Amino acid sequence: MKVLKIDHLGIAVNSIEDGKNFWSDVLGLEFEGAETVQEQKVTTAFFPVGESEVELLESTAPDGPVAKFIEKKGQGFQHVAFRVENIEEALAELKEKGIKLIDETPRIGAGGAKIAFLHPKATGGVLVELCQR
């Protein structure tokens, strides 16, 4: 499989409205606007940084994955996303290598990207997302 670059870093926040100040006002990153992905019970906000982006994640429901993450670990760094050339190919290759996947087939994430998560148990504790745009 071909990993092209770090696409974005996902950061879990209680509130994008409160959380975005550091990224936009202090660091001066451009706020690209927020988007809700209902299926994932999350609202995301993207801040482009060079070739990559910072993604803030706010849960839309108490039982959503981001809410559960914050409940366990608190706000902060949640996942790293790598852009791949072909996500189906990448998932097939990882499966063949015995890597535990959260998503065996890609789903549609923010911005219409195809995304899939690998299980942190297979990556040394880091939640890894693959995405193809």
Interaction site with Zn ion (CB under 5 A): 10, 55, 81, 129
Contacts of residue 26, Cβ cutoff 8 Å, sequence gap at least 6: none
| Shortest Å, Cβ 115 to Zn ion | 7
Q: Give strand ranges (E) for the chain.
A: 3-12, 34-37, 42-49, 52-59, 76-84, 107-108, 114-118, 128-132
Q: Which is nearer to Zn ion, 23 or 98 (CB)?
A: 23
| Shortest Å, Cβ 71 to Zn ion | 19
| Shortest Å, Cβ 44 to Zn ion | 7
CA distances from 46 to 2, 31, 65, 96 (A): 24, 6, 18, 33
Q: Which is nearer to Zn ion, 46 or 94 (CB)?
A: 46
Residue sitting closest to Zn ion (CB)? 10
Q: Which is nearer to Zn ion, 55 or 58 (CB)?
A: 55
